[in-house]
Chains A and B, each alone.
Chain A
């Protein structure tokens, strides 16, 4: 792979990660348990769309084949999507959404804090904007973790089940393949393995406040970097991409 191809692939991974999570959060629109939370979740969706756009626009530039952000978002299939597995998990109940987002938000804040030091100015710029959003997202999701975990017996139980379910998707966030290692060594990307201890202490502290237990199961799912996904992603993309594919030149 050329340096250009490596960077392009890296942009797809992060652009897809935010795009898929944005779509999941967008699915809450009109389904929030109160109007205020409905708006909070769609606000978060919009933040992720913004971050995804920045990655995909830059990816398109790096690739140099004239593909736009929309080409990349709407005209690639499941096997050509490289988002982190955790972001494609269906929303489930509200606890499932909060558990998923909390795990990712804690990662994203650490990741972008590192990426802000990237020698690639565009990536450093994306990171500086994303840090602020990630801080707010983490505040939102961790407050809910504590509120529900340390809430009623039922909310505690649902929160614990949600944590147990999402846990096996967390390892994927820290995986490093040759592409990641190449960019980390070059001072462009982030060495995600090095984020794991700090991430774990965020998780441990919040779960403690939430009176929740860290799952003992350490079996972690993998595959996203090769375009291998859970069955949920294909269905999601089919819906997300249907309009753009039915009307390729649609404007709004």
Chain B
């Protein structure tokens, strides 16, 4: 977490577009405290009516997978096509199951 550039800490922003929908990551903001982070997120990411809910979290608390470990992390799922729900016959008239 660098504050050398005097812009505050970096916070990740998640927006909920409608009630009950999941929060989605939309970007990040700089801020020196949580109120400022929320307000900056509101001003940057909901100015065109995109949201009804905002989460902000300091970027330092995001735990990320290591790109170096992508092979052991992600490749084993590649040959398990039976996990995709593509082997079902859709009942007539239903749009999703």
Interface residues of A, Cβ cutoff 8 Å to B: 34-37, 39-40, 43, 139-140, 143, 147
Q: Which residues of B contact A143 (CB under 8 A)?
A: 35-36, 39
B19-41 interface mask toward A, CB cutoff 8 Å, 1 = contact, 0 = none?
00000000001111101100110
Bound-state CA distance A36–B31 (Å) is 8
By CB atoms of chain B within 10 A, which of A36, A39, A139, A143 has the most? A36
User: Of B7, B8, B35, B39, which one neighbours A40 at CB under 8 angstroms?
Assistant: B39
| CB of B47 within 8 Å of the partner chain | yes
Q: How far is the CB of A149 from chain B (nearest CB, A)?
A: 14
| CB of B43 within 8 Å of the partner chain | yes
Majority SS of interface residues in chain A? helix
Known contacts A34-B7, A34-B8, A43-B47, A147 near B40 by CB under 8 Å: no
Q: How far is the CB of A90 from chain B (nearest CB, A)?
A: 23
8 Å CB contacts to A: which residues of B3-28? 7-8
Q: Which residues of A contact B39 (CB under 8 A)?
A: 40, 139-140, 143
Q: Which residues of B contact A140 (CB under 8 A)?
A: 39
Q: Which residues of A contact B29 (CB under 8 A)?
A: 36
By CB atoms of chain A within 10 A, which of B30, B33, B39, B40 has the most? B39
Q: Tell me if B30 and A147 are in contact (CB < 8 A).
A: no
Could you list 17 A-B pairs, sorted by A, with CB under 8 Å? Answer: A34-B8, A34-B30, A36-B30, A36-B31, A36-B40, A36-B43, A36-B44, A37-B40, A39-B40, A39-B44, A39-B47, A40-B43, A43-B43, A139-B39, A147-B32, A147-B33, A147-B36
Q: Which residues of A contact B7 (CB under 8 A)?
A: 34
Q: How far is the CB of A133 from chain B (nearest CB, A)?
A: 13
Q: How far is the CB of B4 from chain A (nearest CB, A)?
A: 14
By CB atoms of chain B within 10 A, which of A37, A139, A147 has the most? A37
Q: Which residues of B contact A37 (CB under 8 A)?
A: 40
Closest to A46 in B: B47
Bound-state CA distance A37–B42 (Å) is 11
8 Å CB contacts to A: which residues of B26-81? 29-33, 35-36, 39-40, 43-44, 47
The 5 closest A-B pairs by CB, nearest first: A36-B40, A40-B43, A34-B7, A43-B43, A39-B43
Closest to B32 in A: A147
Bound-state CA distance A34–B36 (Å) is 12
